[in-house]
Amino acid sequence: MSESNLLIVEPKKFSFNEVFKLESGEKLNGFEVVYETYGELNKQKSNAILICHALSGNHHAAGVYSKEDIKPGWWNELIGPDKAFDTNKYFIVSLNNLGGCHGSSGPNSINPETNQEFGAEFPIVTVSDWVNSQNLLREELKIDKWLSVAGGSLGGMQALQWAIEFPDKLSKAIVIAAAPKLSTQNIAFNEVARQSIISDPDFEKGDAHPQKGLGLARMLGHITYLSEESMKNKFGRDLKKEKLGYDYDVEFEIESYLRYQGANFSKTFNAHTYLLMTKALDYFDPARMNDGIFAKTLENSLCSFLIISFKSDWRFPPERSKEIVDALIEAEKKVSYLNIDSIQGHDSFLMKNDRYENAIKSFLKSDV
């Protein structure tokens, strides 16, 4: 990294020691949540922004852990001094969600009742459960009201849920590359990913990092995160070897890339967490409580909204963001919408782009 002004950050832990009831009816006897903060909380505590992560994300959204650390957090392009989420102005909080595998209570943490890893025993969690646990973190940090809650993809769904469940606890919701609920096709892809994990005999035997199943899920995920065009630009039909081999070895660069991504991911990510995250996505449907009328669900929200989509995103295409916008307009809420030119598909939300950055900056600065 040539960036010289990278934040040096340190993860912190929040322990909640009471019973925490989940949407499913299950409960956790307390939980721990790991989080990071960037920037300084002002005296009025009015500059706090909560960042919510997506399927495979975690609390490490920005900065590095040491000067030697070469891998900054997943949203470092957008969080930092003078960036979209400007750490000179704002106090940013980013946590690893419940069920995650990077330090918060989840399948790879110890179940205090059995003194063993939760594994498959960790209960299914929903977007609402996350928002409720994030709200406990808010109380812990003595922040009365977030200036904003922001996220992309599944993270954007959490921002929406905040506006619905805790209307007076945020001023601005930033909902990026998201949808009001998964489409049938979205659920179908999740189901293939889940079946690839569940049907891996290594997973059945208790391996939480089944290379084949989790690798396949990740390969498939990658295809849906990238646009057809960006894949073409990056790999085309380039061959890995000099000529066609007429066998099942890697032949095309894209095969090599996907296999590498799959193998790498399976080493570091927990398969149970992957399953949990896809279920949270499938279940998310806040309009359900109002017979599918999303505007009705949004009725009590008080914040203003910035909805952002990317033209080449086919996982949550612009039409899905427009559904959110339409429901917000119907509910007579303050909403700005931006559809950004970017060829990187769903992954665009992770990348720097002037229009994207400026939109977030001015939305955060604006009076509400």
Q: Considering beta carbons, is residue 222 or 361 the nearer one to a copy of itself? A: 222
Please enumerate in sequence order all residues whose Cβ is within 8 A of that of 331, keeping only pairs 6 or more positions apart, or say none: 295, 296, 298, 299, 301
| Whether 197 contacts 179, CB under 8 Å | no
Q: Considering beta carbons, is residue 172 or 320 the nearer one to a copy of itself? A: 320
Q: Considering beta carbons, is residue 319 or 332 the nearer one to a copy of itself? A: 319
Residues in contact with a copy of itself by the rule CB under 8 A = 23-26, 123-124, 181-185, 187-189, 191-192, 194-196, 198-201, 212, 215-216, 219-220, 222-223, 226, 228, 231-232, 234-237, 244, 246-248, 251-252, 254-255, 258-259, 262, 275, 279, 282-283, 285
- What is the residue whose two structure tokens read 């955060």? 364
Active site residues: 153, 313, 346
Residue 140 CB, nearest approach to a copy of itself (Å) = 27
Residue 5 CB, nearest approach to a copy of itself (Å) = 36
Helices 271-283, 127-140: axis angle to 10 degrees equals 100
Q: Considering beta carbons, is residue 41 or 124 the nearer one to a copy of itself? A: 124
CA distance 295 to 227: 31
Strand bridging mode 27-38 / 12-21: antiparallel
Q: DSSP E strands: which ranges in the chain?
A: 12-21, 27-38, 48-52, 79-80, 85-86, 91-95, 110-111, 116-117, 146-152, 170-176, 304-310, 335-340
- What is the residue whose two structure tokens read 């809650």? 149
